A and B are shown apart, each in its own frame.
Chain A
């Protein structure tokens, strides 16, 4: 617990602090790029990219290992990973472009094939006399514990570049995500922008290999944006929020993993992100489960109360328990079901309002359509006094005609 606190406050030593910051920047970048990828409805592409890094990673390890005796040279490994990820991306793209298969099928095929090749290469490595083999598993599930400060700085620098690129391109990317046809009429090369977005995604995956590992990096590009969606309806805020939530998960995950030797970083970051997602999912005031549950209950009570009052006004019997309870609690009826004088007055009001709403719906059908729950809320909360007066006059006129 105390170690975690020291990690959280950046007092566990220079190395841990640099690694934490690097991971946070990476996760922020992943959240931003992930938001655009998600809005472009291509979230699964990152899964294909990440699995396609393994063969390149393993090959680079073999080549570096054969020349220097130790395969753990981060820049070379990242380059190898990027190269094979690019080949994987190209494969996905050409399968979905030139065949009748959809992108999802192409992703599934490429993902598994590349991963299989990577696993075979890893068994080859295990039979070789090269130092640093244990370091390779770190690329599967992430390991920041043994990370050098220089490696962390490389990751941080790349992540910063990524953030800058997204910042510059944010408006174009947004336009392509929302309405690609319109973007093209504005003179944007949407094909190239899609490619740029995929390259950014590839950069996230490759940089993140050492931090979360290749299996779990996909979570960092999907979970923070999805969680951010619960809190806002504005596109740029969603991007910023996804970056923030990503950085927060990176912070929590890396500091947690520094508590004890051998704790895998990737799963801890992903679990932190999932925790933030659950909080958003449950407690967001806009789209959260709790909020919509409460709103549903409020609406149901309102409908029951309304129906009860209208039944009182029309002197119809009431059988529903909830309606009776609600009416009784508000003093509209006595325990034995007989209406009080206050209840009768309220019932007359409700009946009158119902007539006003009915008239409103009849006169202005289009407007009524756009008002939420028109007829359930008191009419003076929605319409202006003038509009209500006009309706009252019309209602009065109509009644006289009937007489």
Chain B
């Protein structure tokens, strides 16, 4: 096949190339044989209905949960060798926010690999953590106990913990879930600035209305891969229909795929 060489090149360049990934809980596949090559320097969204396996796909790709089959490559190499190149922002409610830690303590956790066991977090570490906090607009909260933060602030702290890693690929699991509008704007700005630095972002995303504004690539997932590619090509009425089944009305669909139409109505 003539495409083979080009495909290999794409996989070598991709910060996360997933091939034939299947995840199953109790003999029921929640993600079935999914291929996805994340384009470098892109901002990609994984979208699909509830239970479509969006988070499971990411967790299995990152080795958090076990995968049944499949191969995951980071710049062409196995993920285990390349963990340094990947930062992960889990769902906000996956941790206990009453944990005895201040904001700065959580951000410094992102630097854990730079510290040997005999070192007691130096000034340099603190400075880098503060820079990341400034970037997400949370520098004034560095000494706060994390339980005192609002949901949006907690999400920003998680983002700062990923920022300090200066990774090539940042994977975010629903970063906009349950945050206020101001935080959403702030997070999108940070993500876009990361992309402008040439880094890659991959988000599980819920809000179909903002897909066009935020992302340039999209993976439509419902257990199986329905479609993937640049938003203009893949985010179509037919593909959304196939992904969401009857869950979207034709009016909703028309608005999503033709933003001009929605704008005229406003």
Question: Interface on A for B, CB 8 Å cutoff?
Answer: 39, 41, 167-172, 174-175, 177-179, 181-182, 184-187, 229, 232-235, 238, 366, 369-370
Take A171-B112, A182-B90, A186-B113 as given contacts and tell me if A234 and B100 are in contact as well, using a CB distance cutoff of 8 Å: yes
**Chain B residues within 8 Å of A234, by CB:** 100-102, 105
Instruction: Kindly provide the distance from the CB of A368 to the nearest chain B CB, expressed in whole angstroms.
Output: 11
* Pairwise interchain contact B100-A187, C-beta atoms closer than 8 A: no
Closest to B81 in A: A187
**Chain B residues within 8 Å of A233, by CB:** 100-102, 145
Q: Looking at the complex, which of B12-20, B59-67, B205-213, B248-256 is the stretch in contact with chain A?
A: B59-67
**Chain A residues within 8 Å of B113, by CB:** 186-187
Closest to A370 in B: B150
* Pairwise interchain contact A366-B100, C-beta atoms closer than 8 A: no
Instruction: Kindly provide the distance from the CB of A98 to the nearest chain B CB, expressed in whole angstroms.
Output: 13
Q: How far is the CA of A52 from the CA of B112 in the complex (A)?
A: 36
Interface residues of B in 146-181 (CB under 8 A from A): 150, 152-153, 161, 180
Greatest chain B CB density within 10 A among A170, A233, A370 is at: A233
Interface string of B67-87 (1 = CB under 8 A from A): 000000000000010011011
* Pairwise interchain contact A238-B100, C-beta atoms closer than 8 A: yes
Out of B62, B117, B150, B180, which one reaches A184, CB within 8 Å?
B62
Q: Is B94 an interface residue (CB 8 A)?
A: yes
Take A181-B90, A185-B64, A229-B100 as given contacts and tell me if A174 and B83 are in contact as well, using a CB distance cutoff of 8 Å: no
Instruction: Kindly provide the distance from the CB of B41 to the nearest chain A CB, expressed in whole angstroms.
Output: 21
* B interface SS class: mixed
Q: How far is the CA of A235 from the CA of B98 in the complex (A)?
A: 11
Out of B62, B106, B150, which one reaches A185, CB within 8 Å?
B62
Instruction: Kindly provide the distance from the CB of A284 to the nearest chain B CB, expressed in whole angstroms.
Output: 13
Q: Enumerate 23 A-B pairs (CB-CB under 8 Å) in ascending A order.
A: A41-B96, A167-B117, A171-B112, A171-B115, A174-B109, A175-B112, A178-B96, A178-B99, A181-B90, A181-B94, A185-B62, A185-B63, A185-B83, A185-B87, A187-B84, A233-B101, A234-B100, A234-B102, A234-B105, A235-B99, A366-B152, A366-B180, A366-B182
Instruction: Kindly provide the distance from the CB of B66 to the nearest chain A CB, expressed in whole angstroms.
Output: 11
Out of B83, B94, B99, which one reaches A187, CB within 8 Å?
B83
Instruction: Kindly provide the distance from the CB of B186 to the nearest chain A CB, expressed in whole angstroms.
Output: 10
A-B residue pairs, 4 tightest by C-beta: A187-B83, A185-B88, A233-B145, A168-B117
* Pairwise interchain contact A178-B102, C-beta atoms closer than 8 A: no
Interface string of B103-137 (1 = CB under 8 A from A): 00110010011010100000000000000000000
**Chain B residues within 8 Å of A172, by CB:** 112
Closest to A179 in B: B95
**Chain A residues within 8 Å of B117, by CB:** 167-171
* Pairwise interchain contact A182-B88, C-beta atoms closer than 8 A: yes
Interface string of B177-195 (1 = CB under 8 A from A): 0001010000000000000
Closest to B84 in A: A187
**Chain A residues within 8 Å of B88, by CB:** 181-182, 185
* Pairwise interchain contact B59-A370, C-beta atoms closer than 8 A: no
Out of A39, A170, A171, A184, which one reaches B63, CB within 8 Å?
A184
* Pairwise interchain contact A235-B101, C-beta atoms closer than 8 A: yes
Q: How far is the CA of A182 from the CA of B63 in the complex (A)?
A: 10
Q: How far is the CA of A174 from the CA of B80 in the complex (A)?
A: 21
Greatest chain B CB density within 10 A among A171, A174, A234, A369 is at: A171
Q: How far is the CA of A181 from the CA of B180 in the complex (A)?
A: 25
Closest to A185 in B: B88
**Chain B residues within 8 Å of A238, by CB:** 100
Closest to A177 in B: B99
Q: How far is the CA of A167 from the CA of B86 in the complex (A)?
A: 28
**Chain B residues within 8 Å of A232, by CB:** 100
Q: How far is the CA of A41 from the CA of B99 in the complex (A)?
A: 11
Other than the given A171-B117, A179-B95, A234-B102, 11 more pairs (CB < 8 A) read: A168-B117, A172-B112, A178-B95, A178-B106, A179-B94, A181-B88, A185-B88, A187-B80, A187-B84, A366-B152, A366-B180
Q: How far is the CA of A167 from the CA of B99 in the complex (A)?
A: 20
Out of B63, B99, B150, B161, which one reaches A369, CB within 8 Å?
B150
Q: How far is the CA of A23 from the CA of B23 in the complex (A)?
A: 50
**Chain A residues within 8 Å of B62, by CB:** 184-185
Q: How far is the CA of A369 from the CA of B152 in the complex (A)?
A: 11
Q: How far is the CA of A187 from the CA of B74 in the complex (A)?
A: 14
Take A167-B117, A185-B83, A185-B88 as given contacts and tell me if A175 and B109 are in contact as well, using a CB distance cutoff of 8 Å: yes
